[in-house]
Structure 1
Amino acid sequence: MAWVCVKKAGFAVALGALVLPLPACVTEQALSPRTELTGALPQQPAPVRRARASTKEWSGEDGASGSPEMTADAIRRSAANFRSCVASMAPEAARRGVSRANFDRLTANLEPDLKIMDFMDSQPEFTKSVWDYLDVLVNDTRLAKGREVLAKYKPQFDAVERAYGVDRYIIASIWGIESNYSTRGGDRSVLNSTATLACIGRRQKYFRGEFLAAVEILNRGDLTPDEMVGSWAGAFGPTQFMPTVYKRFAVDFDGDGRRDAVGSVPDLIASTANKLKTDGWQAGQGWGYEVSVPRGFDYLLADRSKAMTLAQWARLGVSRANGQAFPRPGDHAFLLMPAGADGPGFLMLQNFRAILRYNPAESYALAIGHFADRLRGGGPFVQAWPRSERVLTRTERLELQQLLARRGFYQGEADGRLGSETRQALRSFQASVGTPADGFASSAALDRLRSR
């Protein structure tokens, strides 16, 4: 499944995609599996958050991306045409089975929320390190709540695990990290936010699909507008689905005729499992292993495209950090070094890739896997993070990319986001000067670039 996603306001991380992207964006309808819950089991609906009108005004400034559609004048022109833009989507909604009367009813009170333009083009100067990011997400309070949720809804988790083969601890981890177990998740109308983004700004084609999917969900009767409340970008519900994701993966697991992954615990657990299974989750397999890497290791092998069997990694000197043997040496994995040569390493299995399809930030997927292990009874990571390492500012990240480009290692756009292309360019530079080619954008790496 190809993903094209917006960036989520909030934490930024010094690894891969610097700002956490939203779940993968898809558009097809999912089939509901045979349900094992017919209403006999107790459940407590997740709290419904009422949508509110934006209480903050748009800054009135040009967006930081430099896109022509994000200039202040372009935003004002599009906002003035908002009602006509929304109405122009009625024929496509009709092709999706939404009558004009229902479309008009659902869109009658929509208004452009221009504050979203500031969120869409924000570029934070400072970011969190991967270890600080993990500290925020995997904490004792959230772990205690997760264990309560697993115990309270054990029959529902049992039934979903039988139906889909997806680890309950991973599902509970996603629920906890995405919405703190339904206590956080945004308070904007999904329909209004996606309509705004479908008509204003630099991602209109993408958000047109999200808006129309939201209309379909409401037209079908799965949810009410008051239940479709979420982030400025349209992610909603306990596990933060985008409308197209909800349309494809939401299931009616409790058999009440509604695919309610917002208020029905069986539906939300099963819908999350359905997405992970469709994205390649392997039943009975973990997500990965914390590993120790030997001195003198060739860090050019630490690449998502260079998967080998665990036995092959072991022959290269890579071992589990806890000293235990790999239980399934024939499993394939890739090596991830999120903090470079001075931090812990991880061998990532197929299920880590499935989590990446939920959200393509490696730090997010690492947090989900680690949180699940802690819920299962595991301990903290064995190896220490290089906490004394200073995270580069956005200005410094831009400089690093520009210096790499000047020396012929980097061909992409200097945007301050340290993605795979930047890391590969940095590896090549590090190899050329005889330092560990781990691709980690440290202050020392920047200083070495400056001195060349």
Structure 2
Amino acid sequence: MLTRRTFLSAASAAAISGCGGAQTVTRTAPDDPALRPRPDPGWDAWVAAFRPRAEVAGIQPGVIDEAFRGAGFLPGVIERDRNQTEFRRSFEDYLAIVASEPKVQAGRAAFARQRATLAAIESTYGVPAEIVCAIWGVESNFGTRRGDIPTISAVSSLAYDGRRGAFFESQLVAALRILQAGDVTADRMVGSWAGAMGHTQFIPTSYLQSAVDFTGDGRRDIWGEDPADALASTASYLAGAGWQRGASWAIEDPAGSLTPDSGGPSFRTGPNFRVIKRYNNSDSYALGVGYLADRIAGGAPLRQGFGPDRYGLTIAQRQDLQRRLTAAGFDTGGTDGVIGPNSRTAIAAFQASRGLPATGDPSPALLAML
């Protein structure tokens, strides 16, 4: 069985990068010129050959015309698809991104704003309001990072490229079906580089499967400022995937069967853990969503902490390292304790300034030097 995001593992990087922000988001063209539609004869020929296949699938010619008016090839999408970095982030680092204290506070504020809507969604679908809210937080930072890349251009570029052509052509046909149903216009159908859309980042086929019109306005609008349809669609998806009312997702337990980081917290997973994984097939994702949900609902932090990382530093020491580097003029881009590309660049620059090998690796000695 394909999960909602089987083919979109790298697309989630953008969704977990936020840490707070305003309730609304300003729509602008993508900053990267490579993510703006541009003419390409090969893409044009592919679209011309695709048109009869779309019509056979039941898409009206006028819908196709409107969808591709202003669309074009996105070279930046192909570049991202071909250069997905394979790495394993530690569970501690993952939680520091998706369930940090600022994220928990932002989640509680978002929950309070949408309390009545989330309660109605829980009553309808049986999925706890805090789980739905947590997925919203992990996927788009509570609606502030929904994506601004034109979906038709993105999925048609990926279908034309051919590496996963059949999959992305199916997403393109599904996107056209959404337009044909009148749920959204082509200019408002935007999302991630890989076609995930809206507040909770549905790919087009999953939208057709699970999206609902919870507001009753005749449209299943997951893109607009009001997140109600998107949140209800997420609950609809989880309910359809087998969510069990009243069952647990996981319990922190010293004798648990799942210990993502050696020496870190251990979990005894419940049946709904597997349902969350249908949304994104990753243990860290499911644990992160469940933990953020518990914290949004007022739960306490994990009882078991994490030990030093492979460099011998605890998260508090990594945060101290980032603060001191930034204060010294080597900006790490944040102090979350996650040693990512920005922190490594800052470390390497500091090392070079001191005549040291510019490895970009943190260490207790480097912290002591700072």
TM-score of the superposed pair, with normalisation by structure 2? 0.75
Give, in whole Å, the separation in 2 of the partners of 1:167 and 1:206.
32
| Selected match of 2:310 from 354, 379, 389 | 389
| Selected match of 2:148 from 187, 204, 208 | 187
Deviations 1:321-354 (A, max 9, x none): xxxxxxxxxxxxxx212113x2221111111101
Give, in whole Å, the separation in 1 of the partners of 2:130 and 2:274.
17
Alpha-carbon deviation of 1:50?
Answer: 4.3
Give the 3-state SS of the residue equivalent to 1:289 in structure 2: strand
- Structure 2 residue aligned with 1:373: 294
Give, in whole Å, the separation in 2 of the partners of 1:160 and 1:168.
7
Moved more, 197-206 or 117-126: 117-126
- Structure 2 residue aligned with 1:5: 7
- Structure 2 residue aligned with 1:266: 228
Q: How is 1:27-426 mapped onto 2 (pairs within 5 angstroms)?
A: 47=25, 49-52=27-30, 54-56=32-34, 80-124=41-85, 127-263=88-224, 264-293=226-255, 335-340=257-262, 342-389=263-310
Give, in whole Å, the separation in 2 of the partners of 1:233 and 1:262.
16
TM-score of the superposed pair, with normalisation by structure 1? 0.62
Contact 2:63/2:180 (8 A) holds in 1: yes
- Structure 2 residue aligned with 1:73: none
Residues 50, 95 of structure 1: alpha-carbon distance in 2 compared, 3 angstrom cutoff: farther
Contact 1:217/1:223 (8 A) holds in 2: yes
Give, in whole Å, the separation in 2 of the partners of 1:235 and 1:251.
17
Residues 136, 50 of structure 1: alpha-carbon distance in 2 compared, 3 angstrom cutoff: same
- The residue type paired with residue 49 of structure 1 is R
- The residue type paired with residue 382 of structure 1 is R
Give, in whole Å, the separation in 1 of the partners of 2:305 and 2:273.
22
Give the 3-state SS of the residue equivalent to 2:89 in structure 1: coil
Give, in whole Å, the separation in 1 of the partners of 2:107 and 2:305.
25
Contact 1:356/1:362 (8 A) holds in 2: yes
Contact 1:48/1:227 (8 A) holds in 2: no
Deviations 1:210-257 (A, max 9, x none): 111111111211012232211110111010111111111110111111
Give the 3-state SS of the residue equivalent to 1:292 in structure 2: coil
Contact 1:289/1:348 (8 A) holds in 2: yes
Alpha-carbon deviation of 1:267?
Answer: 1.1
Give the 3-state SS of the residue equivalent to 2:52 in structure 1: helix
Alpha-carbon deviation of 1:115?
Answer: 1.5
Contact 1:228/1:236 (8 A) holds in 2: yes
- Structure 1 residue aligned with 2:355: none
Contact 1:213/1:247 (8 A) holds in 2: yes
Give, in whole Å, the separation in 2 of the partners of 1:280 and 1:113.
37
Contact 2:66/2:186 (8 A) holds in 1: no
Give the 3-state SS of the residue equivalent to 2:251 in structure 1: strand
Deviations 1:338-371 (A, max 9, x none): 113x222111111110100000011111100000
Contact 1:276/1:358 (8 A) holds in 2: yes
Alpha-carbon deviation of 1:56?
Answer: 3.8
Give, in whole Å, the separation in 1 of the partners of 2:301 and 2:145.
25
Alpha-carbon deviation of 1:186?
Answer: 2.0
Give the 3-state SS of the residue equivalent to 2:116 in structure 1: helix
Give, in whole Å, the separation in 1 of the partners of 2:283 and 2:127.
20
CA RMSD of aligned residues (A): 2.6
Residues 91, 54 of structure 1: alpha-carbon distance in 2 compared, 3 angstrom cutoff: farther
Contact 2:34/2:75 (8 A) holds in 1: no
- Structure 1 residue aligned with 2:351: none
The percent identity for this pair of structures is: 38
Contact 1:291/1:346 (8 A) holds in 2: yes
Contact 1:9/1:119 (8 A) holds in 2: no
Q: Tell me how many residue pairs correspond in the alignment.
A: 301
Give, in whole Å, the separation in 2 of the partners of 1:376 and 1:52.
35
Moved more, 147-156 or 371-380: 147-156
Q: How is 1:419-434 mapped onto 2 (pairs within 5 angstroms)?
A: none
Alpha-carbon deviation of 1:141?
Answer: 2.0
Q: Relative to total residues, which structure has the larger helix share, 1 or 2? A: 2
Give the 3-state SS of the residue equivalent to 2:253 in structure 1: strand
Deviations 1:185-212 (A, max 9, x none): 2221011100100101411111001111
Give, in whole Å, the separation in 1 of the partners of 2:58 and 2:309.
57
Residues 57, 279 of structure 1: alpha-carbon distance in 2 compared, 3 angstrom cutoff: closer
Give, in whole Å, the separation in 2 of the partners of 1:126 and 1:251.
35
Name structure 1 gaps, 5 residues minimum.
13-19, 21-44, 59-78, 294-317, 319-334, 392-452
Q: Relative to total residues, which structure has the larger strand share, 1 or 2? A: 1
Deviations 1:63-83 (A, max 9, x none): xxxxxxxxxxxxxxxx54211
Give, in whole Å, the separation in 1 of the partners of 2:27 and 2:143.
10
